[in-house]
A and B are shown apart, each in its own frame.
Chain A
């Protein structure tokens, strides 16, 4: 039997804020990081910024 242990890292934004990963184009309210994932890929954004990013992503989708 093999016992594996690892640390579960969870990113939780401040209240009213969100997390954004530009490369993956993902906005989230809570992120469970992969075992070797870089937490610096995620930045905290405000509700206003979230709406702006979602608008941009939607516009990009529409012109595909």
Chain B
């Protein structure tokens, strides 16, 4: 079922309960649900919304799932674990989510597992998320689906990515870290095989820089690729680190 149809179904369910006929925005839905009087009381609005929205836990297509500024910590309280196959635009423009996503979901006892996900494009662009947990990209299946994954716009709040498990066949696109000016901590697992640009990030820790350098695939005997660090990071690299990069046939820019 397409997202718009799911939202319409939620809207219809709410109108059925309230007897109202007006169309509802996503922001209005929780309040409308709260206003529904129930015999049993309790969290029936919460269950009704999230049972429908997450298909009783069976939902896997989360493209545009939490898109838009209307999502905030009053609303974003998933009931079921999230194991998306499609996470494109999942938190696009979610400027109301100024959260450590990993910690926040852990507190809700919700597991966000990307191990089945094939599409990560524009995952958090325009959101206010400060920290991401493990981003397992091994099942990405096209270059486009690895485009602009961590790219920032607007809030530019991302400081930490616990771990990115990269795909060797479809590496992170050149725009994946565009405008990540606050990014400090990142760990890469797997081999980086394509041009890698993280030139906006001047605050990377030594551990993060070493993790990236260590993940560069050995391209000896093949076409050289380019890794782009921020000038501040590049100027702080040791001769040994530069030698490690270039001896694996990577050009450092």
Among A5-41, those with CB < 8 Å from B are: 6, 8, 19, 21, 24-26, 28-38
* Total A-B Cβ pairs within 8 A: 68
B252 proximity list for chain A (CB < 8 A): 31-32
- What size tier do the contact residues of chain A reach? 20 to 34
> Cβ of A34 and Cβ of B148 under 8 Å apart?
no
B247 at the interface (CB under 8 A from A): yes
> Cβ of A64 and Cβ of B247 under 8 Å apart?
no
Among B51-105, those with CB < 8 Å from A are: none
Distance from B253 Cβ to chain A, minimum over Cβ atoms (Å): 4
A30 and B234 alpha carbons, distance in the complex (Å): 9
Question: Out of A8, A29, A34, A64, which one reaches B249, CB within 8 Å?
Answer: A34
> Cβ of A34 and Cβ of B231 under 8 Å apart?
no
> Cβ of B249 and Cβ of A37 under 8 Å apart?
yes
Question: Out of A6, A29, A37, A61, which one reaches B251, CB within 8 Å?
Answer: A37
The 8 A CB mask of B208-239 against A (1 = contact, 0 = none) is 00000000000111001110100100100000
> Cβ of A26 and Cβ of B247 under 8 Å apart?
no
The 8 A CB mask of B240-253 against A (1 = contact, 0 = none) is 00110111111111
A38 and B148 alpha carbons, distance in the complex (Å): 27
A61 and B250 alpha carbons, distance in the complex (Å): 25
Question: Out of B148, B199, B228, B246, which one reaches A35, CB within 8 Å?
Answer: B246
A21 and B228 alpha carbons, distance in the complex (Å): 11
B246 proximity list for chain A (CB < 8 A): 6, 8, 32-35
- What size tier do the contact residues of chain B reach? 20 to 34
> Cβ of A26 and Cβ of B197 under 8 Å apart?
yes
Q: A24-B174, A26-B253, A31-B253 are in contact. Are A4 and B247 (CB under 8 A)?
A: yes
Question: Out of B175, B199, B242, which one reaches A32, CB within 8 Å?
Answer: B242
Distance from A23 Cβ to chain B, minimum over Cβ atoms (Å): 8
Question: Out of A8, A26, A30, A36, which one reaches B226, CB within 8 Å?
Answer: A26
Q: A26-B197, A29-B231, A61-B175 are in contact. Are A35 and B249 (CB under 8 A)?
A: yes
Q: List 9 A-B contacts (CB under 8 A).
A: A4-B247, A24-B225, A24-B228, A32-B253, A33-B251, A34-B224, A35-B249, A37-B251, A64-B148
Instruction: List 7 additional contacts besides A35-B248, A36-B224; criterion CB under 8 Å.
Output: A24-B195, A32-B245, A32-B253, A34-B225, A34-B248, A34-B250, A64-B147
